[in-house]
Structure 1
Amino acid sequence: MLRISKLNAWYGASHALQDISMEVSKGEIVCLIGRNGAGKTTTLKSIMGLMDRIRGSAIFKGKELLDQPAHARFALGLAYVPEERRIVQGLSVRENLRLGLVASPQKKRESELIDEIAQIFPRLAERLDQEAVTMSGGEQQMLAIARAMIGKPDLIMLDEPSEGIMPVLVDEMFALFRSMKTQGTTVLLVEQNVELALDIADRAYVLDQGAVVHHASAQELLADSEIKERYCSV
């Protein structure tokens, strides 16, 4: 579904990504692991079209992404949940969900899709008319994921979804990711809890200083004592 080839990105003079190559197949959960500053978030932002200076290739469903603006990539079926969540202040949960459909081909089914997403996220169903920013951090994270999911993307990229969230909500969230995979949604995941991410993933790429230094099945990486020592405590 997604093939990245020799992807390079810069922040000013800093060469943040160096010839990143990876693949994500339909129905997989693939995770990116590495220490802070390794280039994980930059990889997701580059794929989504949120970096000013990039070079290389990103083929999504047979189409080159790098010559497309971010909103066109979204329309192709690519969704991104950033680490910052970006819940819009002053809007209710329902109104934030509606924002996920503004540029979506699914916009005409808005009411139906909000009902569907409320069934998937029962915590949100109870709060549809509540101002979104008054919810807990974990509930806001669920809203950010729901807002990305409501347009039924083919691939959803998640950046550190468990950060700062109480364990009970993290468990709910990762159960949701398993369910998403079962239903055919493809996931590219950046997650600070490496063991938890590898437990649900099919494969993983290890990034270090802007380059892919290792790639293996999730189970192989979980069994690799050197990888666990170096990255699972991050």
Structure 2
Amino acid sequence: MIRFENVGLRYGMGPEVLRDLNLRIDPRSFQFLTGPSGAGKTTLLRLLFLALKPTRGLITVFGRDTATLPKADLPALRRRIGVVYQDFRLLDHLTTFENVALPLRVLGREESSYRADVVELLKWVGLGDRMHAYPPVLSGGEKQRAAIARALIGQPEILLADEPTGNVDPPLAKRLLRLFIELNRLGTSVVIATHDIGLMNQFDARRLVLHEGRLTIYE
């Protein structure tokens, strides 16, 4: 689904922050992306989401070479990738339901065509009784689950999550990880960036370890 071949990235004329990355994200795969703070985990996620272009090397997404990809084709590819951001990025003036439904509204769909799907998804992530609440009154865990639901509503083939358990307590972190594992069982490839070694040790999954701009993969 995604392939990196000898990928490197630098900002301006500075040194490479990522170098010689070789990586495959296969269908239905599950992996943790880890490494010390400042190792480049978020930068790598941005490359996976096509929010950045590499300085060198080849990135292929769903069989398309991103270096030659017309800009007009980029949104359609991005819609096949869901992203959960570390800072949630919920809109305070919209209810939980409206935040989750937003990607579908942007596509021009009528509420009648997706209302049942949004309600079902909110129940699945444990927010069935919070769909009319606004983000300022949600707890950190509830905001995180709303962000996860928003990333899933478009039924992405790949889900990228940047420190999705970083703002919640250990029991909720484990519950969120189980949501991702269940999603993977349903067929979505999952990449979770985290520094929580203890949490990763509770699950048997592939690990992508970034250190000083280089990637080591442990199957």
TM-score band, normalised by shorter chain: 0.7 to 0.9
The CA deviation at 1:204 is 1.3
* SS of residue paired to 2:104: coil
* SS of residue paired to 1:43: helix
Q: Which moved more, 1:59-68 or 1:18-27?
A: 59-68
Any unmatched runs of 5+ in structure 2?
none
What are the superposed Cα offsets for residues 112-134 of structure 1, whole Å, 9 maximum, x if unpaired? 32022123112x21111111232
Q: What's the TM-score, normalizing by structure 1?
A: 0.82
What are the superposed Cα offsets for residues 143-169 of structure 1, whole Å, 9 maximum, x if unpaired? 111100011000000110111212221
Cα distance change on mapping 1:104 and 1:172 into 2, 3 Å = farther
Does residue 152 (structure 1) correspond to residue 155 (structure 2)? The answer is: yes
Does residue 216 (structure 1) correspond to residue 218 (structure 2)? The answer is: yes
**2-structure distance, mates of 1:171, 1:68:** 40
Cα distance change on mapping 1:200 and 1:27 into 2, 3 Å = farther
Query: Which of 158, 165, 169 is 1:162 aligned to?
Result: 165
Aligned length in residues: 214
The CA deviation at 1:135 is 0.4
The CA deviation at 1:68 is 5.8
Does residue 179 (structure 1) correspond to residue 178 (structure 2)? The answer is: no
Any unmatched runs of 5+ in structure 1?
218-234
Q: Which residue of 2 aligns with 1:18?
A: 19
Q: Which residue of 2 aligns with 1:232?
A: none
* SS of residue paired to 1:79: strand
Q: Which residue of 2 aligns with 1:95?
A: 98
Does residue 74 (structure 1) correspond to residue 75 (structure 2)? The answer is: no
**2-structure distance, mates of 1:20, 1:215:** 10
The CA deviation at 1:50 is 2.2
Sequence identity, in percent? 27
The CA deviation at 1:195 is 3.4
CA RMSD of aligned residues (A): 2.3
Q: Which moved more, 1:41-50 or 1:201-210?
A: 201-210
